[in-house]
Amino acid sequence: MTQLIKIKKMHSYSVQLIATTLCILLCSYILSVSAGEQRSVDTSLTIPAELSVLSKKVLSKSTSANGKSLQLGINLPKKLLITDSDIKWQIQRSDKTVLELKGRYHSVSLPDGLYKVRLQIGRYQAEKQVMLQAGQKIQPYFQMNIGRLQVSADHPVDWEIKGPGNTVYRVKNKQSVNEVLPVGRYQIKAVLPALAQQQVVDVLSGQYVAKHLTVPLGKVNLMAIRNNQPLLKAMEWEVFRLEKNSRHKIGEYYLHFKSINVPPGQYEAVARHQDQTSKRRFWVQKETTNKVVLVME
């Protein structure tokens, strides 16, 4: 009988011990699940809200810790050879310019409000509107669809560069032109009064394109004489191109004989020796040789 009572007590004790252990395990499981949920909530709160804005490639927003509300910056291929002085920023508010800057990167502080940010690099221009608010840092996004075009000729000419949207750039009396342009197809024309050479060129994003336009030339042999003999003394030549009642000097030379190549057109040669001056006007046709003789008497 006594033995039976002991067995019952031991059985009751074992049941209580098992129940206690199960309670401890259950409480531990509940606490771990609760902690996991808490960590999940904390992680979700740290996801930046600006990620959705960045994906649209419009503006980059973040909390401003240093008081700088507007960030300006662009990345450009090195092969375009663009210097900081070529990059121009203009910030406007209510159609009034409040700030002008040069260079790739800037960080500025401005009062809250709506602004227009304009970027210019060579012939490329773009602008964005930004809303500045307290505690936020804004960086407008500019997509750099630009390239560089270099064109040259055998002689100074008037350039006409016609691009997308019938945009026309003109450069007067230059032997070469080197410009940063928006991406697109351009019609390049080298113009002189007697001729025009043209070529179509594609300007690609991030690319440097170089083209040469051949201008047909004529050869001119200048000679100064005295007593039907070459002068054979130091002297001065000036050669001018004549266009619509204007004269453009194309060169100075200091020998009694000089051979030059010029585009077709009308010219004037002026020869000086001591107190004597002699002049002559003449025409040059393409791919011809022209002899200009001035008598110094």
Span 105-149, pLDDT tens digits: 999 999 999 999 999 999 999 999 999 998 889 999 999 999 999
CA distance 251 to 229: 24
Q: Return the pLDDT at 37.
A: 40
Q: Is the pLDDT of residue 70 over 70?
A: yes
Q: Long-range contacts for 271-276 (Cβ within 8 Å, ≥24 apart)?
A: 271/222, 271/224, 271/235, 271/236, 271/237, 271/296, 272/235, 272/236, 272/237, 272/238, 273/224, 273/231, 273/233, 273/234, 273/235, 273/236
CA distance 208 to 183: 11
β-pair partners for 137: 62
Fold type of domain 218-295? Immunoglobulin-like (2.60.40)
In the predicted model, what is the mean pLDDT of residues 19-36?
A: 55
Under 8 Å between Cβ of 173 and 241: no
Nearest to 89 by CA among 111, 110, 113: 110
**13 or 142, which is more confident:** 142
Q: Is the pLDDT of residue 85 over 90?
A: yes
- Sequence-distant (6+) residues with CB within 8 A of 188 are 149, 151, 159, 160, 161, 198, 199, 200, 201, 211, 213
Span 236-279, pLDDT tens digits: 999 999 988 888 898 999 999 999 998 888 999 999 999 999 99
Lowest mean pLDDT among 44-53, 54-63, 94-103, 173-182: 44-53
**251 or 63, which is more confident:** 251
Domain ranges for the chain, please list them. Answer: 51-140, 146-213, 218-295
Pick the CATH number of 146-213 from 1.10.10.10, 3.40.980.10, 3.50.50.60, 2.60.40.10: 2.60.40.10
- Sequence-distant (6+) residues with CB within 8 A of 297 are 226, 227, 276
Are the folds of 146-213 and 218-295 the same?
Answer: yes
Q: Return the pLDDT at 181.
A: 96
Residues counted in the chain? 297
Q: Return the pLDDT at 65.
A: 44
**What's the Rg (C-alpha) of the chain?**
40
- On whether the pTM is more than 0.85, the answer is no
Q: Is the pLDDT of residue 69 over 70?
A: yes
Q: Return the pLDDT at 38.
A: 38
Nearest to 209 by CA among 189, 183, 171: 183
Q: Is the pLDDT of residue 78 over 50?
A: yes
Average pLDDT over the chain, rounded to an integer: 83
In the CATH scheme, what is the code of domain 51-140?
A: 2.60.40
Q: What is the 3-state secondary structure (H, E, C) of 93-157?
A: ECCEEEEEEECCEEEECCCCEEEEEEEEECCEEEEEEEEECCCEEEEECCCCCEEEEEEEEEEEE
Under 8 Å between Cβ of 74 and 87: yes
